[in-house]
Amino acid sequence: NPPAGPRLSDRQRLAWLRLIRTPNVGPATFRDLINRFGSAETALEMLPELMANGGAQRSLRIPSQNEAEAEMETARRMGARFVCIGETDYPAMLRRMDNPPPLLAVKGIGAVFFLPAVAIVGARNASLAGIKMARMLAADLGREGHAIVSGLARGIDTAAHQGSLSTGTIGVLAGGLDRPYPPENADLCDEIAANGGAVVSEMPFGWEPRAQDFPRRNRIVAGMALGLVVVEAAKRSGSLISARLAGEMGRLVFAVPGSPLDPRAAGANGLLKDGAILVTETSDIIEALAPLTGRPVPPAVQLEEPPDFSATPPPGDDDRARVVEALGPTPTGIDELIRHTGLHPAQMFMILLELDLAGRLERHAGGAVSLVA
């Protein structure tokens, strides 16, 4: 069981939910707002002013207290709850990724988050051999004490969840917890939660998944695990996005080889050419993960201290104009912006936060930023 630790009050949890459900507030912006203002409640009060300073064409529609309470009530009716990143029952490995979701809707048993996890992903139109392999790997890894993470899609994902139902599996949804995709996996979601596993989503209840939501789902699948196994995947498939994200996060990437004549094997075979770990049996995965499974889980994160704003005057309109002029569609490092404009880091921090909330800023890997074209 997870250790006892910090928990948000109901009032704080409600404010966190309202803030993360506000348009233009993603995980990185959420973190910056909490770090700058100390609490979600204060950040919510400041949002209209920040957006206006950033040049927003219209004000953000901040979800009301009643709307947030209604979503909380929907979660309770479903037997689900919201877990915040500072709490000890937040999935442990997610804390190690850049900009983890601040708030997750969870249905099921949080203890499964404390097992060393392996993600298994692959083709929706999987072959019978691929399905058999995914189910076998999941069952074997589960017996060895691993949780199995996947995305609840047809084919390989479903087989991985089914193989690890009795030992603990985690399903990650691209839509709301009440909108499983594909719909025929609704019963599988219930089985996972009822058998010591968990189903999670960062999206609001009632959210129907769109194409752009699946890479976000894949990011969480990769982030929850020590390593990710691709069983079958065509070129340019979602499974290869998951593998790329896993590699960028420093997770191990595994692939099961397949026939060069089968298009469903092209993605996994390509990963092997690029240095993925070859898997023909479960021991290949267990041996590679062994040095990692003994490491302690990172502690519950505390949101870091913000820059010292007290001694720095707030940015003026001229400062904002200089930053907008310096930015363009090409990603630019924040340190480079500070050197070019001569602004104090705290002033730059505020201007970028305002632009972000106004929908005018795009964030890139490595902390670079650009103006939305």
- What is the band of 300 on the pLDDT scale with cuts at 50, 70, 90? very low
| Contact call for residues 172 and 194 (beta carbons, < 8 A) | no
The residue among 297 and 190 whose pLDDT is bigger is 190
**Can you tell me the distance from the alpha carbon of 373 to that of 360, in angstroms, rounded to the nearest whole number?**
8
Tokens of 159: 């087989």
H or E element at residue 173 = none
Say which amino acid occupies 127: S
Return the bridge partners of 120, or none.
Answer: 229
Kindly give, in sequence order, each residue whose CB lies less than 8 Å from that of residue 163, ignoring residues fewer than 6 positions away: 134, 135, 136, 137, 138, 139, 142, 148
Q: Where does the chain hold its CATH 1.10.10.10 domain(s)?
A: 317-371
Cis upstream peptide for 6 (omega within 30°): no
pLDDT of 308: 54
H or E element at residue 222 = helix 213-223
**Can you tell me the distance from the alpha carbon of 150 to that of 121, in angstroms, rounded to the nearest whole number?**
6
- Residue 224 DSSP label: T
Q: Where does the chain hold its CATH 3.40.50.450 domain(s)?
A: 92-292
Kindly give, in sequence order, each residue whose CB lies less than 8 Å from that of residue 93, ignoring residues fewer than 6 positions away: 117, 223, 224, 225, 226, 297
pLDDT > 70 fraction of the chain, expressed in percent and rounded: 94
DSSP output for 269-283: HHHHHTTPEE-SSHH
CATH of 317-371, one of 1.10.10.10, 1.10.3720.10, 3.30.420.40, 3.30.70.20: 1.10.10.10
Kindly give, in sequence order, each residue whose CB lies less than 8 Å from that of residue 245, ignoring residues fewer than 6 positions away: 218, 219, 222, 223
- Residue 123 DSSP label: -
Task: Look at residue 210 and give its three-state secondary structure.
Answer: coil
In this predicted structure, the answer to whether residue 217 has a pLDDT above a threshold of 80 is yes
pLDDT of 304: 45
At the top level of CATH, which class does the domain 92-292 belong to? alpha beta
pLDDT of 305: 44
Residues 325-369: pLDDT tens digits? 999 888 999 999 999 998 988 889 899 999 999 889 988 877 789
**Can you tell me the distance from the alpha carbon of 33 to that of 15, in angstroms, rounded to the nearest whole number?**
12
Picking from 159, 123, 157, the residue whose alpha carbon sits closest to that of residue 139 is: 159
- What is the band of 86 on the pLDDT scale with cuts at 50, 70, 90? confident
